[in-house]
Amino acid sequence: MMLLPQNTMLGKLEIIEIYEYHDKPLLFACRNASYTHYLVVQEGVHPDSETWLYASLSHDRFQQIRVGIIDLHDAFAHAEDDFVFLVRLFLDGNTPQIMMVNIADLTDDQLPDKGEFLNIESRGLPSELRV
């Protein structure tokens, strides 16, 4: 199974930072070819698929999350666009399903815990991530 959905409305994605890893990235940042950044967290594991939340980020918000101003819960629960993408990746490689979910419809079970922050040594935005 591929970790990033391909040929979808999210664009051509590449992982740029990994924050949590257990056999594969579970919490990471990625961007598409037009430099839209996403914070991504695994939302669920099912017998036939995995579901992921993608929150699009402005440059400033990405920086605030990275330096610990915004916690991971609020990065999704208070997404700038008032929605996140719920991406379902099928283990058999079938076409991913992508749904826009209003942040008001998210439950705490879907989100990182309140008060969890990124734990990265360098608090500044690396030069290769600057736009």
**pLDDT digits over 59-71, tens only?**
999 999 999 999 9
Q: Kindly report the number of other CB atoms within 10 A of residue 61's CB atom.
A: 19
pLDDT score at 4 = 95
**122/22: higher pLDDT:** 22
Return the number of other C-beta atoms located less than 10 Å from residue 44's C-beta.
13
Encoding tokens for residue 18?
A: 């990994």
Task: Tell me the C-alpha distance between 81 and 7, whole Å.
Answer: 22
Residues 45-49, mean pLDDT to the nearest whole number: 96
Task: Look up the pTM and report it.
Answer: 0.91
What CA–CA distance (Å, rounded) separates 56 from 58? 7
Q: What is the pLDDT of residues 77-119, one digit of tens each?
A: 999 999 999 999 999 989 999 999 999 999 999 999 999 999 7
Distance CA 3, CA 76 (A): 19
pLDDT level of residue 28 (50, 70, 90 thresholds): very high
Burial of 129 (0-12, 13-18, 19+ CB in 10 A): middle
Residue from 95, 8, 91, 86 nearest 49 by CA: 91
Cα separation values, 81 from 36, 89, 129, Å: 13, 23, 21
